[in-house]
Amino acid sequence: MSIFKENLSLDGLRALQNERLKKTVRHAYNNVPQYKKKFDEIGLVPNDIQTIEDLHKLPFTTKEDFRQNYPYGMFAVPMEKIARIHASSGTTGQPTVVGYTKGDLDVFDEVVARSLYMAGARPGMKLHNAYGYGLFTGGLGIHGGATKLGMAVIPVSTGMTDRQVTILNEFKPEVICCTPSYAQFLAQECRKRGIDTKDLALKYAILGAEPWTESIRNQVESGLHVKASNIYGLSEIIGPGVSQESVEEQGTGSYIWEDHFYPEVVDKDTGKPLPHGEQGVLVFTTLTKEALPVLRYWTNDICSIQYDKNSTLPYIKMSTIKGRADNMLIVRGVNLFHTQIEEVLYKVDKIVPNYQIHVNRVNNLDTLRVDCEVKEGVSVTDEILMKQLRAEIRMKIGIACDVKLVSPFSMPESQGGKTQRIFDTRDVY
């Protein structure tokens, strides 16, 4: 499909990126006082940036820049040119406010349409959109891209699970878009209502907004009878559709739409760019944004990037997100992401995919406890199960942890938004 620009060679892509980068840097410097200030402080002028090789000269942009300029100070166009305003979910503090011109919304539609197509969606199919509609970029972002692709959108939004199950069963969408935890929950809820998901029309699930693992993929694919792929994005860069995994190349990473968003991976402590394949913080520079040009945005998301030599597209791929740099737990000196624990839990048959990680400090010692919800019919005092979980988690992460089993349906379920898995109460000591 031509929207991928698959005829673009790597040289052609570089030339396009360089030309767009120069324009973006000038635009940001001339129209956003915060960028001018940061350039001036280190004696940098827009002409110093001629190609992507010069990117390392630019300072990083962080959530702090957005917070200091809340709500509209990072916008590079007058308000009359703004066609839509969104805000990030605020997972790590005050939400950042983002704006789009009509041109930006066209780009948003284009990258989401590409992503949906890559995930298996086709014109004429129906999309059950269970991403939140509202300030969150997910709902309307997916909506616009699906419309551009020529799909029929069912704008379900989050929550009201009974209604979601009815729609899946009666409206017969072929594609669903939601968070991975909500897809797991929906599979479970269909089962509970005696619905055989083989009878649904669903073929593809496009999952994002929070980190997930291969074990979740297996559960969603068997639970909903779909092929599941990963969509990634963040409000500051555009929203969902910054990258997308191909449903035909599952497990090999997600294509980054590099003609619009230039990626780097840098060391989380030194900020130095890392070679392809090494894991660090993902940093993006937007190449076509008008309302909100963003230079070297420090996403805080941990992953690696690498070209896939088997691919026919010129775009680089990113691995799955291991977690956020600020969500990396350091427990008794060991670095830990919740996805590592998740990988263990989701392979154990007697528990359902719903858990919480509690970190505390008692007598100056970090304590780690994982609460897991058991399946119906399994006892919460099942000593053998607890012992198995403690041993497997310890083997995976290298430190001891306590395990608490909780009864079925007692833990808060995903309502479609981002699920909080980590409860770290150590800083109150």
Residues near ligand ADP (CB under 6 A): 88-92, 136, 208-211, 230-235, 299, 301, 321, 324
What's the one-letter identity of residue 192?
K
CB of 249 to ligand ADP, least distance (A): 16
CB of 310 to ligand ADP, least distance (A): 22
Cα–Cα distance measured from residue 286 to residue 99, given in angstroms and rounded to the nearest whole number:
14
CB of 86 to ligand ADP, least distance (A): 9
Nearest to 312 by CA among 246, 267, 361, 219: 246
The token duo for 164 is 């979601």
The CA angle 289-306-119, to the nearest 5 degrees, is 65
Q: Which residues contact 205 (CB under 8 A, 6 or more apart)?
A: 175, 176, 177, 178, 183, 220, 221, 224, 226, 227, 228, 229
CB-nearer residue toward ligand ADP: 410 or 420 = 420
CB-nearer residue toward ligand ADP: 29 or 255 = 255
CB-nearer residue toward ligand ADP: 172 or 324 = 324
For residue 59, say if its preceding peptide bond is cis, omega within 30 degrees of 0.
no
Written as one string, the DSSP assignment of 41-71 is HTT--GGG--SGGGGGGSPPB-HHHHHHTTT
CB of 91 to ligand ADP, least distance (A): 3
Residue with tokens 């269970």: 130
CB of 243 to ligand ADP, least distance (A): 8
CB of 136 to ligand ADP, least distance (A): 6
CB-nearer residue toward ligand ADP: 409 or 423 = 423
CB-nearer residue toward ligand ADP: 208 or 314 = 208
CB-nearer residue toward ligand ADP: 25 or 303 = 303
CB-nearer residue toward ligand ADP: 136 or 182 = 136
Burial of 11 (0-12, 13-18, 19+ CB in 10 A): exposed
Q: What are phi and psi of 21, to 5 degrees?
A: -65, -45
Contact between 111 and 257 (Cβ < 8 Å): yes
CB of 11 to ligand ADP, least distance (A): 30
Contact between 232 and 321 (Cβ < 8 Å): yes
